[in-house]
Amino acid sequence: MKRPLVGITADFRTHDSAPYHVVGDKYARAIWEAAGCTPLIIPAMAESQEVSDMLDSLDGLMFTGSPSNVHPTRYGRDADEKAEPYDEARDAMTFGLIDRALEKGLPSLFVCRGFQELNAALGGTLHACVHEVEGRMDHRMPKHDDPDVRYGPRHAMNFTPGSLFAGIAGASEIEVNSLHSQGIDVVAPGLEIEGHAPDGTPEAVSVTGAKAFALGVQWHPEYKALENDFSTRLFRAFSEAVRG
């Protein structure tokens, strides 16, 4: 049986003065291994992409995480050097993709930066630095050379009883990693918060009235997805939606 085709969003970066479109291996590997689908990298080239035509060729989308942050002008704030680095080429691509994917009803999974893009694209706002908000913990990536430590469990995630996430998890609480600086401030209209970190930071959302699977997570379930029970469940649920 032919594997479904899932688009995964890329960053636009410069290395040795040359431009690249880049996706972390863990995202492509999670789609291939945990979701059982074929990943297709979508370059950050909004000016040359016919979004509608592209989506007609895809069975699903994953909006990936990234070291970069959503540019504040995308959610009505002034640029702040504390929120750097930015990737405005990616913003231009993903914001258009989000609108069309939701309109089309294409199953979509939003991870970390993708989670933030979803909130901003639908009219919400972001904290540039969650760790500077009174009462919030430091959600940034641990400074450690071992990726298993950087992506290791950091805090509990409490799901709303009866929510889509609770149904996928088969539980009301799980442990998640934490590697982000930005975070939801004002929740966008049309998003339902389904999970919070212990400090109250929204970290799991669903799109209200979505035509298909449309879930966002602030953490990184793609890292060694098959070694984590909830991550496996999440990618399998996504796969079922893509195949459906």
Active site residues: 112, 220, 222
Q: How far apart are CA 110 and CA 116, in angstroms?
A: 8
Q: How far apart are CA 59 and CA 142, in angstroms?
A: 35
Q: What is the DSSP letter of 45?
A: -
- For residue 14, which of 73, 71, 65, 89 has the smallest C-alpha distance? 89
Q: How far apart are CA 225 and CA 154, in angstroms?
A: 16
- For residue 61, which of 95, 22, 112, 97 has the smallest C-alpha distance? 97
Q: Is 110 exposed, middle or buried (0-12, 13-18, 19+ CB in 10 A)?
A: buried
